[in-house]
Chain A
Amino acid sequence: DVKVTQSSRYLVKRTGEKVFLECVQDMDHENMFWYRQDPGLGLRLIYFSYDVKMKEKGDIPEGYSVSREKKERFSLILESASTNQTSMYLCASSSGTGVIYGYTFGSGTRLTVV
């Protein structure tokens, strides 16, 4: 089975801190995604990447950046954390040959910014 591993299950950070959320997948997938999940809003796409060093903005990129230096790793960066970034962050990956296989999701990182 494809595994998508997010480095932390829970994180608590202070306002203004720089926060790194790490995601690693082990099936050589081309596409990787970062979503945030909030009650009543579902999943909203922050950024995605379709190749190493390539990135595309999703629907809510403000306040975030990403890094993809290696194919298996996709990092989400909160440049200066704010309380409105308290959320569940989900990483996903998919094969570049087609969306027919859907996404494989990680277990999520619940970030609290205080």
Chain B
Amino acid sequence: AQSVSQHNHHVILSEAASLELGCNYSYGGTVNLFWYVQYPGQHLQLLLKYFSGDPLVKGIKGFEAEFIKSKFSFNLRKPSVQWSDTAEYFCAVNPPRSGGYNKLIFGAGTRLAVHP
């Protein structure tokens, strides 16, 4: 079945460590890619998105993601995490042939805990 896979379900880091969260998708054709974040007790918020052009996308709060078409991947990175980055992170794909309905398919999420 076509899907979105996030490799790590739980990640624990110390402050100032570098972060990379993996995301792979199995849809062929042109896809639109997103990362969302859910801070404890808050609603999901958009971190960044990729549609076309430069495969290295910069988002809010120092996050970036790289689209590698040949690997069907869209990994999220941050050079130096902070305690306030503790949250759950979701990768999402707008599959091709969605009929223009803007449907998003989400991965299972990665819980990140950053220790001071």
Residues of A bordering B, CB below 8 Å: 4, 31, 33, 35, 40-45, 48, 50, 56, 58-59, 90, 92, 94, 96, 98-100, 102-103, 105-108
Total number of B residues with any Cβ neighbor in A under 8 Å:
26
Q: Which of A31, A35, A94, A99 has the most CB of B within 10 A?
A: A99
- Is the pair B46, A108 in contact by a Cβ cutoff of 8 Å? no
Interface hit among B14-22, B73-81, B103-111: B103-111
Please indicate the chain A residues that have their CB under 8 angstroms from the CB of B34 in the complex.
Answer: 102
B104 touches A40 (CB 8 A): no
**Chain B residues within 8 Å of A, Cβ to Cβ:** 4, 6, 9, 32, 34, 36, 42-46, 49, 51, 90, 92, 94, 100-109
Taking a contact as CB atoms under 8 Å apart, the answer to whether B101 and A31 are in contact is yes
**Distance A108 CA – B45 CA, assembled complex (angstroms):** 13
- Shortest CB-to-CB span from A81 to chain B, Å, is 24
Return chain B residues, CB-CB under 8 Å to A31.
101-102
